[in-house]
Amino acid sequence: MSYQAHFKVWRGDAEGGGLRDFTVEVNEGEVVLDIIHRLQATQAPDLAVRWNCKAGKCGSCSAEINGRPRLLCMTRMSVFEESETITVTPMRAFPVMRDLVTDVSFNYAKAREIPAFVPPAELGPGEYRMAQQDVERSQEFRKCIECFLCQDTCHVVRDFEENKAAFAGPRFLMRVAELDMHPLDAADEAGIDRKRTAQEEHGLGYCNITKCCTEVCPEGIRITDNALIPLKERAVDRKYDPLVWLGNKIRRRGQ
Amino acid sequence: MTQVERQAWDVVVVGAGGAGLRAAIAAREQGMRTAVICKSLFGKAHTVMAEGGIAASMGNVNEGDNWQVHFRDTMRGGKFLNHWRMAELHAREAPDRVWELETWGALFDRTADGRISQRNFGGHEYPRLAHVGDRTGLELIRTLQQKIVSLQQEDEREFGDHEARLKVFQECTVTRVLKEAGPAGGDGARVAGVFGYERESGRFFVIEAPSVVLATGGIGKSFKVTSNSWEYTGDGHALALLAGAPLINMEFVQFHPTGMVWPPSVKGILVTESVRGDGGVLRNSEGKRFMFDYIPEVFKDKYALTEEEGDRWYEDPDNNRRPPELLPRDEVARAINAEVKAGRGSPHGGVFLDVSTRMPAETIKRRLPSMHHQFKELADVDITAEPMEVGPTCHYVMGGVEVDPDTAAATGVPGLFAAGEVAGGMHGSNRLGGNSLSDLLVFGRRAGLYAARHAADVGADRPVVAAADAAAAEAEALRPFSAEEASAGPAGGPVENPYTLHQELQQAMNDLVGIIRRHEEMAEALHRLAGLRARARRAGVEGHRQFNPGWHLALDLRNMLLVSECVARAALERTESRGGHTRDDHPAMDRAWRTVNLQCRLATEEAQAAEPVGGAANGPVGVGDTGLAGGAASGAEPVAEPGLGGLVSDQSGQIALARKATPPIRPDLLQLFERDELVKYLTDEELSR
Ligand SMILES: Cc1cc2nc3c(=O)[nH]c(=O)nc-3n(C[C@H](O)[C@H](O)[C@H](O)COP(=O)(O)OP(=O)(O)OC[C@H]3O[C@@H](n4cnc5c(N)ncnc54)[C@H](O)[C@@H]3O)c2cc1C
Ligand code: SF4
Ligand code: SF4
Ligand code: FES
């Protein structure tokens, strides 16, 4: 049942580091995070790793396993051959702090750049009425656990550090889409044009719909198909047709 | 102390879960400069894991619901040990707190007429839990997080600085609440700030503030099988004790009936109660729905006695009684425990929880998406096709910092507040599902509000951190790096590995102060805790202070040991079974104990040296019964007057116990119950008042 596995784990900090070899016990049903914890408890007490829920709900334990962005707690050891060497490295798109822990402050900075939900002035607390089918689109995006694996994988920032300033990344473009599809968001009334800002301020144009983000999302959110492409379409409409904007506004009022 | 960074804020909130974030919003909305400190990244606090929902009597699904009914259910669930005023405020204010979330962008699941949908849950008379699939906690935390961001955006517009009035210090751990240099021993001295370290760099910091809100969550990491994460080391409980504030109700620990039992590495991870609320049933190895055999006397007229009636209830709740799978958690956990003990368990030592034969696969995937995902990914089980295996897991602590119900102020330490799981009293001896998330919002808001008012009242007369305290806090935090010294010292012994100590602690608590308790075992637990405490002084770590989990654990051990001792000591003292406290040797609930809260304080040196007080029956731990003279079991009123409780600390401990009378329930609230029901809980004296 249990066996000895070979691991290579990146150790180091901002100054530099490298892969370290470990041989470590693996038992039935374990996930990669269990093995990292076993290393901490037995061989490397100061090995740094983030985690919280151990059930794929908090998005803390993001790293790259054999080069692929994944949650450590949701990657079962049984998907690997017993003879395979398993390489665990920190997310590549963000600066390393120590070992498997990266500085993800980029994401928190981007989150602040997106104007918040604007409550409709005419409705008080308890008066909101929305149909299930109308909230479902935004609800899909609100499943996001902010693991930032999509941000890590998107080539726009993964390969081009300099794009970071102009590009919010799939997670936060999706946030714009979520607010834009919220049935009661009153951004228009507040003079906020979410579609235009997606294009002009958050770098929607950089996305060339490769769907890499969707592929790594542990929540199975269809980021590209359901958020980014519709947002692009809406942004294009908006750009060329000012009447669409007026029409949307009138329709919302009439709801 | 040259290397310690110092900053001054008006209100410091320790914790960024539902309670902490709601407190921070309230304090900031009062215009106070508010700092939030949390151990994980912003948005990752434990609240994110909550699944089932948030209880609020909005009456969207059944119009019969209102705050009085919610209050009643909460008191019943807590077996009337709840602080009635907290239960009242909670039931009254929960709907407003939920509706407010919608104005901040939350998207709950909807009813057909477009309102917030509400689901059934154990112990709640009507469908009451607002929810988003089974990821309600995520919605709650994200909404609060986004509200905080929106307040920061306001500040950016006004001051050009997002963090002008509200800042989150993430990945920082607070290790001490600091007070002003006070008169003798610091009694009554005001809060002056907090001391902590950045997890990333290991750098120390002091934040000075006249108000500190503790919102640190629970204690589950002291137990081996738990649904809780590494954050739950009882820090806030310990910080309060060390600052001189008492805890109450620490013997009440909720074991959730349904945790995963297989594979071993996920043992304890929660299986949400919504599985049962939506129709899932519990079966033993003989295929029997055994819960029908475990309906306790006090609930006999409220639960279905046949499977047919229970099944009809889902469609027609007005004319049928609910199935016993939805009894309060303590009842279900005990029943599962008993079935497994009787040899009718599942292959891996649990029982079966089945939805596959109760709902179409598509419905299961829609209503319980994350359970479907969790079992598929972690256990290779498809819950639409086969039953789950589940067993009890340590989930929630009812006990916590004793607070004033209206203001959330801790007892005896001006400027200290507590809200959320770290606060005690609201849930009595057992919490109903869904009542935590609402608790976080109701009392988080109150704590933030009154912390802000306190800070405003203090004004320019801000307390000053006693320099010696900050220096002592630093020395304490550095100790694990010089374990060799402790090891060579007078109380010497080998340097200890913090991971090993933690495992031994978890094992001891799980085995000896777990779901079913016995006098001898708890006495043994106290003995082991004393040994672990001595060894923990020699807990040593390698490496440096930068993101060093071994060091972090070594520091957390202090908190877990303190809190574990509170649990064990209070559990040993309470010679009855009630809610989350079940004694094999005192299996019945005793009305006389309803009027008693057990209060834990840090034992002062004098108290530690003193002989235990309380009369002949209060023999040393391990001999006889530590109950009061006469003993609660005989039906005698255990406490003559409030505050007259005896100290029952034993010399090897750090915690002194006292008995405090529970405040009498307001008459109009008592009138919400039938007398027939009240006689089951209240003493004759209370009934005749
Ligand atoms: C799996 C699971 C499912 C649940 N489902 C439900 C449900 O459906 N409904 C319900 O009502 N309840 C549910 N609960 C219970 C509920 O989630 C918790 O009781 C609640 O979230 C606690 O919130 P809190 O704000 O008190 O603390 P938390 O959300 O745990 O936040 C604690 C915060 O304090 C910080 N902290 C702790 N110690 C320190 C320190 N020393 N220094 C600095 N920061 C510190 C942490 O980093 C964290 O930010 C569930 C619990 C679990 C485990
Ligand atoms: S679809 Fe767009 S956002 Fe997603 S990975 Fe590709 S380029 Fe990046
Ligand atoms: S969208 Fe998916 S991959 Fe991206 S942060 Fe959210 S959960 Fe992670
Ligand atoms: S630890 Fe929470 S997602 Fe992995």
Q: Is B644 inside a domain boundary?
A: no
Helix (H) or strand (E) run with residue B659 in it: strand B655-661
Cα A6 to middle of ligand 1, angstroms:
36
CA distance A131 to B642: 53
Output the ligand 1 site: residues, CB below 6 A.
B 14-20, 37-40, 45-47, 49-54, 136-137, 173-174, 215-217, 227-228, 231, 235-236, 270, 396, 420-422, 433-437, 440
**Number of Cβ within a 10 Å radius of residue A1:** 6
For residue B348, what is the domain's CATH number? 3.90.700.10
Q: Is B242 inside a domain boundary?
A: yes
Is A73 touching ligand 4 by the criterion CB < 6 Å?
A: yes
Interface test with A, best of B39, B44, B171, B200 (most A CBs within 10 A): B44
Q: Measure the CA angle with vertex B425, ends B423 and B429; round to 5°.
A: 115
pLDDT at A239: 56
**Number of Cβ within a 10 Å radius of residue B95:** 24
- DSSP alpha helix (H) spans, B114-179: 136-159
CA distance B644 to B614: 10
A25 touches chain B (CB under 8 A): no
Above 60 in pLDDT, residue A92? yes
Contacts of A176 (CB under 8 A, 6+ apart): A114, A168, A194, A197, A198, A202, A204, A231
Above 70 in pLDDT, residue A241? no
Identify whether residues B37 and B130 lie together within a single domain. yes
Identify whether residues B388 and B404 lie together within a single domain. no
Contact A120, A184 (CB under 8 A): yes
Question: Is A146 within 8 Å of B40 when comparing Cβ atoms?
Answer: no
The preferred substitution site among A149, A211, A217, A222 for testing ligand 2, maximizing ligand atoms within 8 Å of CB, is A211
Last residue of a domain, one of B458, B478, B511: B458
Domain containing B366 equals 257-394
Taking alpha carbons only, the member of A23, A122, A114, A36 closest to residue A75 is A36
CA distances from B288 to B137, B275, B291, B394 (A): 33, 18, 9, 25
Task: Give DSSP secondary structure letters for A203-247.
Answer: -GGG-----HHHHH-TT---IIIIIIHHHHHHHHHHHH-HHHHHH
CA distance B105 to B146: 8
Q: Measure the CA angle with vertex B266, ends B260 and B267; round to 5°.
A: 50
Identify whether residues B59 and B97 lie together within a single domain. yes
Query: Is the whole-model pTM more than 0.90?
Result: yes
The preferred substitution site among A57, A75, A91, A144 for testing ligand 4, maximizing ligand atoms within 8 Å of CB, is A57
Helix (H) or strand (E) run with residue B69 in it: helix B67-77
Q: Is B614 inside a domain boundary?
A: no
Contact B642, B660 (CB under 8 A): yes
Is A62 touching ligand 4 by the criterion CB < 6 Å?
A: no
Cα A56 to middle of ligand 4, angstroms:
4
- 10-residue block means of pLDDT along chain B (689 residues)? 79 98 98 97 95 95 96 96 98 98 98 96 93 94 98 97 97 96 70 95 96 97 92 96 97 95 88 89 96 91 92 90 90 92 92 94 89 89 94 96 98 97 97 96 98 96 91 94 80 87 95 94 96 93 85 95 98 96 94 96 66 34 34 36 37 87 95 93 86
- For residue range A193-234, what is the model confidence (pLDDT) as tens digits? 999 999 999 999 999 999 999 999 999 999 999 999 999 998
Identify whether residues B49 and B172 lie together within a single domain. yes
Q: Is B677 inside a domain boundary?
A: no
State how far residue A217 is from chain B, nearest Cα, in angstroms.
14
Identify whether residues B357 and B390 lie together within a single domain. yes
Q: Is B661 inside a domain boundary?
A: no
Q: What is chain A's mean pLDDT, rounded?
A: 92
For residue B75, what is the domain's CATH number? 3.50.50.60
Q: Which of B83, B90, B128, B256 is catalytic?
A: B256
Task: Report the half-sphere exposure of A61 (CA within 13 A, side-chain side).
Answer: 26
Q: Is B290 inside a domain boundary?
A: yes
Last residue of a domain, one of B394, B425, B444: B394
Is A145 touching ligand 3 by the criterion CB < 6 Å?
A: yes
In chain A, residues with a C-beta closer than 8 Å to the C-beta of B200 are: 97-98, 101
Contact B164, B155 (CB under 8 A): yes
Is A149 touching ligand 3 by the criterion CB < 6 Å?
A: yes
CA distance B6 to B366: 50
Identify whether residues B370 and B327 lie together within a single domain. yes
Domains located in chain A, CATH noted = 3-102 (3.10.20.30), 105-254 (1.10.1060.10)
Q: Is B40 inside a domain boundary?
A: yes
Q: Is B112 inside a domain boundary?
A: yes
Above 70 in pLDDT, residue A141? yes
- State mean pLDDT over A117-122: 97
Residue A67's identity, in one-letter code, is G
Contact B254, B314 (CB under 8 A): no
Question: Is A55 within 8 Å of B132 when comparing Cβ atoms?
Answer: no
The minimal CB distance from A40 to the residues B100, B152, B549 is found for B549
State how far residue A249 is from chain B, nearest Cα, in angstroms.
19
Identify whether residues B409 and B365 lie together within a single domain. no
- For strands A85-89 and A3-13, give the pairing: parallel
Banded pLDDT at A64 (limits 50, 70, 90): very high
Last residue of a domain, one of B405, B439, B458: B458
- For strands A85-89 and B204-208, give the pairing: unpaired
Identify whether residues B143 and B178 lie together within a single domain. yes
Integer Rg of chain B from CA: 24
Q: Whose CA is nearest to atom 8 of ligand 1?
A: B52
What is the number of the ligand closest to the CA of B43? 1
pLDDT at B639: 36
- DSSP alpha helix (H) spans, B387-518: 435-458, 467-478, 483-488, 498-512
Q: Which of B22, B28, B199, B276 is catalytic?
A: B276
A168 touches chain B (CB under 8 A): no
Tokens representing residue B472 in the block: 């002592």
Helix (H) or strand (E) run with residue B669 in it: helix B667-670
- The ipTM assigned to this model is 0.93
**Number of Cβ within a 10 Å radius of residue B582:** 20
Identify whether residues B70 and B122 lie together within a single domain. yes
Does residue B578 have an active-site annotation?
no
Identify whether residues B73 and B20 lie together within a single domain. yes
- For strands B166-169 and B34-37, give the pairing: parallel
Identify whether residues B226 and B236 lie together within a single domain. yes
Identify whether residues B171 and B236 lie together within a single domain. yes
Does residue B537 have an active-site annotation?
no
Domain count, chain B: 2
Task: Give DSSP secondary structure letters for B210-272.
Answer: SEEEE-----GGGSSSBS--TT-S-HHHHHHHHHT--EE-TT-EEEEEEEE-SSGGGTT-B--
Tokens representing residue A76 in the block: 């079962």
